[in-house]
Amino acid sequence: MRYYIIKRMLATVPLLLGITFLCFVFIDLIPSDPAEVVLRVRQIAIITEADIAQMRADLGLDDPFFVRYFRWLGDCLQGNLGISYVNPTRTVVGELARCLPATLQLAGLSLVFVIILSLPIGILSAVYKDSWFDRIIRGIVFLTTAMPVYWAGLLLMWLLAIKLSLLPTSGSGGFQHLLMPAFTVSLTYISTYIRLIRNNILENMKQDYVLYANARGLSQRSILFNHILKNSLQSCITAIGMSIPQLISGTIVVENVFAWPGVGQLCITSIFNRDYPIIQAYVLLVGVLFVVFNLIFDIIQMAADPRLRKELG
């Protein structure tokens, strides 16, 4: 087990290096000279050759590629991701730190929604398979997977904020402002996981151990809670856990619909402003989160499931 964990952790190192490399190459692939972009987005009226040369020197663009990559990587490890192109007084880390809490709140609450809604609904629709409840849920799941997230958000906004005036339309503030965007983010994931949990439980119900439990004359309730759920929830929880980074990145669209001041909105603004370092840092952040969460939940699954451990020998 310890051997597995160490091996798994070592395997992520090249992956992380690959991610950082891709993020670094990202700025290098800009069709124009970054130094010129910096001067342009800062709206300097007359750009001379000397200015560009000066800016190139400031950004360290004159050094060879790999020198720059390793310098950048070293800076990253020390938590220095450079400064914003648009506003030289702001650091990229500062900008991300300013916006990240709002996004984490949003992602956190949607995770809560995902868990408290998809688990019971998924379980119920598996247990009462083909009942009217299951049919309705399947219909809703089918529709929500076909719905554009932003449209669902707009409809919710219209219904709850404009028509019924229950919640504020958009912007940030208290908990009330958070409810609607968080629910919108969670919508797609809820339908995915209802499906996953339902199918997983149905799959488990066909296993021999359920037949055996039935033969032993255990009550249906006991079979469901002590045997089936124990088995299937494990893999479902892992799947939900692995999707946390996706949840965080999934907030981009919703943040823009509800004017929620998080990283997603920062990212879109940066795209329009050509503020590349911020986009680069965001991509890096999410990529690393993705790998780390995968690692953590892989190990958790391994620890929780004896069958997987046995396969390793």
Number of residues located near another protein, criterion CB under 8 A: 51
With residue 241 as reference, give the H or E element that holds it.
Answer: helix 229-242
CB 6 within 8 A of CB 263: no
CB 254 within 8 A of CB 185: yes
Among residues 154 and 237, whose Cβ is nearest to another protein? 154
By the rule CB under 8 A, 15 interacts with another protein: yes
By the rule CB under 8 A, 250 interacts with another protein: yes
Quote the tokens at residue 142: 């089918």
By the rule CB under 8 A, 18 interacts with another protein: yes
What angle do the packed helices 263-273 and 92-127 form, to 10 degrees?
A: 130
By the rule CB under 8 A, 19 interacts with another protein: yes
Among residues 138 and 218, whose Cβ is nearest to another protein? 138
d(CA 108, CA 93): 21
DSSP 45: S
By the rule CB under 8 A, 31 interacts with another protein: yes
The dihedrals phi and psi of 59, each to the nearest 5 degrees, come to -80, -5
**If you write DSSP's letter for every residue of 90-101 in order, what string do you get?**
SBHHHHHHHHHH
For residue 83, list its beta bridge partners: 91
- Binder of another protein out of 245, 260, 281, 297 (CB under 8 A): 245
By the rule CB under 8 A, 61 interacts with another protein: no
- Binder of another protein out of 112, 136, 271, 304 (CB under 8 A): 271
Q: Side-chain half-sphere of 166: how many Cα atoms within 13 Å?
A: 10
By the rule CB under 8 A, 252 interacts with another protein: yes
Interface region with another protein, contact rule CB under 8 A, candidates 72-80, 92-100, 198-206, 301-309: 198-206
Interface region with another protein, contact rule CB under 8 A, candidates 46-54, 115-123, 266-274, 302-310: 266-274
- Burial (CB count <10 Å: 0-12, 13-18, 19+), residue 64: exposed
By the rule CB under 8 A, 157 interacts with another protein: yes
Closest residue by Cα to residue 189 from 132, 123, 107: 107
Site mask, another protein, residues 105-144, x = CB under 8 A? -------------------------------------xx-
By the rule CB under 8 A, 212 interacts with another protein: no
Smallest distance, Å, CB 68 to another protein? 18
Closest residue by Cα to residue 206 from 129, 308, 311: 129
Closest residue by Cα to residue 157 from 168, 147, 148, 149: 168
- Binder of another protein out of 55, 287, 297, 298 (CB under 8 A): 287
Q: Which residues make up the interface to another protein (CB under 8 A)?
A: 14-15, 18-19, 22, 26, 29-31, 142-143, 145-151, 154-155, 157-158, 162, 199, 202-203, 206, 245-246, 249-250, 252-253, 256-257, 267-268, 270-272, 274, 276, 279-280, 282-283, 286-287, 290-291, 294
